[in-house]
Structure 1
Amino acid sequence: MIQRTRKHGGPQFRQEAGDVLATLVGYLNRDIKKINRLSSAVSAQKYIDDKHLGKRFSVSEQDLDDNVATPDNVVVYDKKKNAIYSVDGYTTAVGFGDPEHLHKRNWKKQYYSDVNDLERAALAAKLKQQGIKGGPYMKWLSMTKPHKIREIKDYSFRAFTLNAKKFIDANGGAKLPMATKQQIMASAWNSVLVIPAVEILEQQDGKIDIYNRSNKVNIQKGDYEYLPLAKRLYKKELAAAITQLYQVEGIDARIKEALAQAMQYYGQMLTNRQQQIGGFDLAKYKFQ
């Protein structure tokens, strides 16, 4: 029995690979990319579990080349599309896009058409001397690729933070670190708007209950995993439910009350942490 091997592949196999590459890149308009976490079965399964994608993807090890001398391939299968998603971490992405949806290959083609080798080398040397990472292509991309200012949607978290920051600053929190302000705003947003919206949606659709029964788990309100799971399951419906809650009488007062309580809680946590740090004798550590 004659078996194909990667090590001894001759011109015939190079030609076959070239034909497949031409079809993939030229005809199907796909770029090849590597996702390192999908390179091994253990890492791929952990990655899928972390992303809560077990219902959609499965991992298996298969001998795709029918050769016992080579390791089995790690295959990630997309059950929804009934197709292979990746092999040994290699998958595909869209190549060229249209003028309104440009992809990486569009920019690469333009860059290597407009910038000559001498200019690239000079820019690379300059960036290296300045200690800037990313290379000349990324620098060129940052200057060339148009930056669109994201519109702030009504009743979104970004819109919520605009008024929340003003309230925090006006009530003694102007000098708080930005990280603490983010904790305060997220706490108020979740407690006053997200959790009540999820409760309304759960009464209507019961997606969390279905998830618990399907996966034989018991994730309940108050658990660490509850909010991330709820936001993922009700991703499409959550914005509309939050918009409805904004119409409820007295919602502004409840938001301000939640912000004040969160300011007190996280402000005290920050004070305690600073006192703990101040209690350490740092003089014995010879910091430069």
Structure 2
Amino acid sequence: MFDDEIAASVGYLGSAEALACLEASSYWPKWDSPWWHMLLLHEMGETRRIPERTMRAFVDAMKATPFTIFMDGPGELPKGADPYFTACHCQLGNVYRVLDGFGVDVDAELPWVGPWFVANQMADGGMNCDESAYAVTDECPSSMVGTIAAFEAMALKSAEGLSEEAASFLDRAAGFMVGRRLTMGSETRHNAAEREAAASWMLPCFPRFYHYDVIRGLTALSLWAERRGVSVPREAIGPVVEAVDRAFPDGVVRIGRRCWEGVGTIMQTGDGSWDYRRREAPGFPLLEAVSAVGAASPYLTREWAGTRRRMLGVLG
């Protein structure tokens, strides 16, 4: 399935054009730069189809990230630094997962990424990619979207291989997700927009990139519980499992939204500079093919089958 579109993405990733794009940015533009092809292939279980030299170029591009701390305080961004080219939590969580899936030793190649997550965890166990959230002192405006990818990345480690700091990060992040029952947006003023976004979380999306839906949350939480040998509160999470079962009684998960659609991007100009006026992000054939709303998704269906089985085993 999607053989031609996969081949087209793999071919693009092996091209001189893709390597030149990675040299300019490991992230921009959305949604058709090499990073987005790589992340989609990973979500499809096709990580190993990424060309070796492209993965190496991507690792090198990430090593060139100009700042390896989150710029979350006034005056932290050095003079002349471009905020569009600093990293964020959801980006790094996904980077960690893709590199790990390819067989890269992420902790050796990018040793600052794991500590980044620990350093930027908020008081309630969540995170937020909006740096201004960290300046708020009278509430905790954490974000499910800002937390999920980092949680997934840290949960890749075996329980025996976790440092005390990493284990604490995971347990606190899991507590945050359980507290939100995987379905609730932030109750804060600063992150009020998440309450509106939460209305769509029961609608599965594929690919997710850095976006969130409840199946993604259930998958991450069930993997954490299984690897840590702990249970998940049935009263908090059981109703979410039941809701997904009701939505897909035959077990076939159908795509409910295209979370990536309508998101703008900055673009590089012919002279190599960047145009910061947001414009429509074009996408690419594989992205279009696997994200049709209403279509049965073999990837989400496979994920949900494993997640449901795992979750029923860890509900306490």
TM-score for the superposition, normalised by structure 2: 0.19
Query: Which structure has more helix as a fraction of its residues?
Result: 1
TM-score for the superposition, normalised by structure 1: 0.20
Query: Which structure has more strand as a fraction of its residues?
Result: 1
